[in-house]
Amino acid sequence: MTLEEAFANDGPFSVAFPGYKLRQPQLEMAQAVAKAIDEHGQLIAEAGTGTGKTFAYLVPALLSGGKTIVSTGTKTLQDQLFNRDIPSVRDVLKVPVTVALLKGRSNYVCHYHLERAEHEGRFMRREDVVDLQKVKRYAASTQSGDKASCQGVPEDAPIWSHVTSTRDNCLGQDCPSHKECFVLKARREAQEADVVVVNHHLFFADVWLRDEGAGELLPACNTVIFDEAHQLPEVASLFFGDTLTSGQVVELARDARAEALVVAKDFIELPNAAEALEKAAKDVRLVFKEPLRLPQHELKERFGGFFTQLSVMQDKLKTVAQLLAKQAERAEGLEKCQQRASEMLTLLDHWLEEDSKDTVHWIDVTQHSFLLHVTPLNIADLFQKQINMNPRAWIFASATLAVNNQFTHFQHELGLWKAETATWDSPFDYKQQAVLYVPQDMPSPNTPGYTQAVVEKAWPLLQSTQGHAFLLFTSLKAMCEAHELVLEKLKDANLDWPVFLQGTTSRTELLDQFRRAPNAILVASQTFWEGIDVRGEQLSLVVIDKLPFSPPDDPVLSARMEQITKAGRSPFMDYQLPNATITLKQGAGRLIRDETDIGILMIADTRLVEKQYGKMIWRSLPPMFRSRELANVQKFYAVKQAEKMQQGIEHSGDEA
C-alpha cells in the first residue's frame, strides 16, 4: 500500500473514521518521513496542531517493515500511542506489527521490594498500609505490573517508593524474584516487538546510554521517532551530565541498615554508620532556609557552612562504604549497597571539582532535598556522536520547533545541521476561531503589582467565557498570588465557580476535575503549558502572564550565556529568545485543539508588541485575530459563540 492510497479520501482511513478527509499537509509530512526512513536520514518536522502528525509518522513507520522506536516527551502521550493511536493505524493498514510499551523501572511493581515492604512495615501513614494491600492484590493478578493500571492507588502515592526498584537497589540476576520480574518481562517484549513506545527520559537513561540493560533496543532498530521533540535538548543535557541527590544517599543509608539488620545482625557498626549517614545528608539540606539553585562558586561565597556539612556527609559515606566492603560477601543486597556507595563517592568527587569550560557544577535545593549536578554546556557534539554511530532514520517532530519559521536554534542545540527541515501549518482557521489579546496600560512585568494587574485584565474575559479558563504563570509565587486574587473576585461577584490550583493533587486528577466541572478555572505554572488537550467550550480562555524567559540567575543558563558571549554571539538573541518563543508557542497551543473550537488567548506582557524582539515572537504565534481593545475581544467571542450556537441548531435541524 502506498502513502497516497493510505491517506486517500476513499482509502482505508475513510472506512475506519466516518467523515475522514485527506489533509494535504498530513500526506506531505508522511512522505517526508518515508523518505527519511528509506535514506536513513534526519528530518526535523514542525506540524501545527490539527495536522495529524501522529498518523503522519506512524503510517510510513508501520509500512516500512523495520523496527521502530517512538519516544515521547510525556507518559500521557506514551500511553495514548500504545493504547489508542498505534493499534488504530495497525488495524486500518492491516499490517501484522507487534507493539510494546516500555517505561522506566520505577513504573513497575517489584516483587522483591513489595515483599520486603510488607515484612518491614516502615510506613508513615495509615493510608500506606491500605495502599500496600491494593498493590499486593494487583501484583498477583496483573500481566504488566505497570503502576498506572493499579486501580485505587494514585501514581504519586508514597507507597510506590517502597514497592518499586531503582537502578541503585535492583538486585539483578541475584534477585529471588528474577524470573517473575515485570521490568525484565517488559524489556523482553520490547526487544521482540516491531514498534516500541518509550519516553525521552527512558530513551536516554536506558536505551541510549545503556545503563540498565535495555541497550539492545537501539542497535536493532531502523527508525527512531521523537514526538514532542522540543523537549530533547533539556532532557539530553540532564542525561549527558551527572547527578547525585540527597534522596539517593538517604535511600542507601536506609537500605544498608535494613540489609544489615537481616543478614548481619552481629555487625552493629553498619546500622549505626548508616544512621549517621542519613543524618548527615539531612543536615546538608538544613544549611539552606529555602529552595534555591546556585552554581558551585557562589555557594563558596554565600554558604560556607555548606561545604563543611558536605564534607561530614562525604566522611560518613566513606565509612559506610568501607563497612559494606567488609560484609559484602554475606548477601547480594549488601554487595549492591557497597557498589552504590562507591559510585556515589565518585560522583561526589566529580562534583567537588571546579567547573571546566564545558561543564557547570551546581546545586538545586528543593523543599526537602538537594541535588548536585554536573551539566554539560554544549550537547551538540555528544548528540551527533551517538547519532552517527549506526545508520538509521532519525525523525524529530513537534508542533513547536521553529522560531519565525527557522529551525536554527533547535539544530544548533543538537548539532542537526545535516537534517532536512519542514514546516506544515495548522489547518485550523485561527483568524476565525481565536483572538489574541495583549491588554493596554499594563505595568512592567517586574513590578510588585504585576500579577494583580494580570488578574484585573483577565477578569472581564473570565466573565465573558463564564470561567472555562487556564491561567498560566511563569512562577509558582505568581501562580499562588493569582489563585488568591481569583478566589476574591469570585467571592465579591457571588459566583460559585470551581478554581483548581496546580499542586493540590496530581496533574491527571486536576485535568479530570477541570474537564468535568462547569465554569472551571485552572490556575497553574509551566507544568500545564504543554501536553494538555482540552477540547470544546470547556477551555475557552487561556491567560499567560509573562513571556517565559528563563530566570537569568539559573546556573546552567548563566554559564551557557557566558559561553555564547565568549564565542562572539548574542546570548539573548541566539538562546534566551528562541527558548522563550518555543515555550510560549506551547502555552498558546492549549487554546485551539479542534476545528470547531473558539476562544481567547490573553498574553498580558506588553513586551510582545512594544519591544522589537517581541515582534519575532509575535510572528511565531498562530495567525489569530489580534486586538488590544477589550471591547473588540469580547465582541469577537460573543459573535463566534452565537455563530457556533446557530450552526449547532441548524445541524440539529438537518439531522431531524
- The 10s digit of each residue's pLDDT in 466-511 is 999 999 999 989 999 999 999 999 999 999 999 999 988 777 788 8
Alpha helix positions (H), 366-503:
380-387, 408-414, 430-433, 450-465, 476-492
Residue 239's pLDDT band (boundaries 50, 70, 90)? Answer: confident
Question: pLDDT > 70: what percent of the chain?
Answer: 97
Say if CB 206 and CB 218 are below 8 A apart: no
Residue-level pLDDT at 652: 47
Residue-level pLDDT at 655: 46
- d(CA 540, CA 545) in angstroms, rounded, equals 17
The sign one gets for the Cα dihedral 300, 305, 308, 312 is negative
Among the listed residues 611, 163, 229, 207, the one whose alpha carbon sits nearest the alpha carbon of residue 411: 229
Q: In what order do the strands lie in the sheet with 541-544?
A: 499-501, 521-524, 469-472, 541-544, 599-603, 434-437, 625-627
Residue-level pLDDT at 352: 94
Average pLDDT value over all residues in the chain: 90
Among the listed residues 227, 202, 189, the one whose alpha carbon sits nearest the alpha carbon of residue 58: 227
The Cβ of residue 609 has, within 10 Å, a number of other Cβ atoms equal to 15
**Three-class SS of residue 563?**
helix
Beta strands per DSSP E along 348-458: 359-365, 370-376, 393-398, 420-424, 434-437
Residue-level pLDDT at 220: 81
- d(CA 34, CA 211) in angstroms, rounded, equals 31
Distance (Å) of CA 352 to CA 152, 310, 369: 44, 10, 18
Quote the distance between the C-alpha of residue 32 and its chain's center. 27
Please, what is the Cα angle at 31 between 27 and 36, to 5 degrees? 150
| CB contact set of 327 (below 8 Å; sequence gap of 6+) | 260, 264, 267, 270, 334
Phi, psi of 20 (to 5 degrees): -65, 140
Say if CB 186 and CB 104 are below 8 A apart: no
Question: Residue 654: is its pLDDT beyond 60?
Answer: no
The residue-averaged pLDDT of 34-48 equals: 96
Question: pLDDT > 90: what percent of the chain?
Answer: 61
Write down the residue that cell numbers 501514581 correspond to.
155
The residue-averaged pLDDT of 638-654 equals: 73
- Look at strands 292-295 and 359-365 and give their pairing: antiparallel
Question: Residue 20: is its pLDDT beyond 90?
Answer: no
pLDDT top residue among 237 and 57: 57
Please, what is the Cα angle at 366 between 360 and 367, to 5 degrees? 165
Residue 526's pLDDT band (boundaries 50, 70, 90)? Answer: confident
- d(CA 499, CA 367) in angstroms, rounded, equals 25
Q: Give the lowest-confidence range in 46-50, 168-172, 211-215.
A: 211-215
346 conformational bin, left if phi > 0, alpha if psi -120 to 50, beta if neither:
alpha
**Three-class SS of residue 224?**
strand
Domains of the chain: 3-104+184-238+390-424 (3.40.50.300), 107-174 (no CATH), 240-376 (1.20.120), 433-648 (3.40.50.300)
- b/e map of 334-369 (b: 16 or more CB within 10 Å)? bbbbbebbebbbebbeebeeebeeebbbbbbbeeeb
pLDDT top residue among 459 and 330: 459
- d(CA 13, CA 10) in angstroms, rounded, equals 8
Residue-level pLDDT at 214: 54
Q: In what order do the strands lie in the sheet with 370-376?
A: 242-245, 370-376, 359-365, 292-295
- d(CA 419, CA 395) in angstroms, rounded, equals 9
Q: What Rg, from alpha-carbon coordinates, does the chain have?
A: 26
Question: Residue 384: is its pLDDT beyond 60?
Answer: yes
| CB contact set of 643 (below 8 Å; sequence gap of 6+) | none
| CB contact set of 281 (below 8 Å; sequence gap of 6+) | 246, 249, 250, 253, 313
Write down the residue that cell numbers 510506613 correspond to.
123
Say if CB 104 and CB 97 are below 8 A apart: no
pLDDT tens digits, one per residue of 104-140: 888 999 999 999 888 877 666 788 889 999 999 999 9
Residue-level pLDDT at 513: 92
- d(CA 455, CA 39) in angstroms, rounded, equals 52
- d(CA 600, CA 598) in angstroms, rounded, equals 7
Residue-level pLDDT at 413: 93
**Three-class SS of residue 499?**
strand
Most trustworthy range by pLDDT among 75-89, 228-242, 275-289: 275-289
- Look at strands 521-524 and 499-501 and give their pairing: parallel
pTM: 0.87
Say if CB 201 and CB 226 are below 8 A apart: no
Side-chain half-sphere exposure of 573, counting CA atoms within 13 A: 8
Among the listed residues 467, 555, 548, 475, the one whose alpha carbon sits nearest the alpha carbon of residue 514: 467
The residue-averaged pLDDT of 551-563 equals: 87
Phi, psi of 210 (to 5 degrees): 55, 40
| CB contact set of 526 (below 8 Å; sequence gap of 6+) | 472, 474, 548, 583, 587
Among the listed residues 483, 476, 433, the one whose alpha carbon sits nearest the alpha carbon of residue 454: 483
Residue-level pLDDT at 656: 40
Residue-level pLDDT at 650: 53
- Look at strands 370-376 and 393-398 and give their pairing: unpaired
Residue-level pLDDT at 604: 97
pLDDT tens digits, one per residue of 255-296: 898 888 877 777 888 999 999 999 999 999 999 998 899 999
- d(CA 264, CA 270) in angstroms, rounded, equals 9
pLDDT tens digits, one per residue of 299-357: 988 888 899 999 999 999 999 999 999 887 877 888 889 999 999 999 999 999 987 88
Question: DSSP 3-state helix, strand, coil percentages of the chain (rounded to 5)?
Answer: 55, 15, 30
Question: Residue 423: is its pLDDT beyond 90?
Answer: yes
The residue-averaged pLDDT of 60-83 equals: 91
Residue-level pLDDT at 210: 59
Residue 629's pLDDT band (boundaries 50, 70, 90)? Answer: very high
Residue-level pLDDT at 516: 93
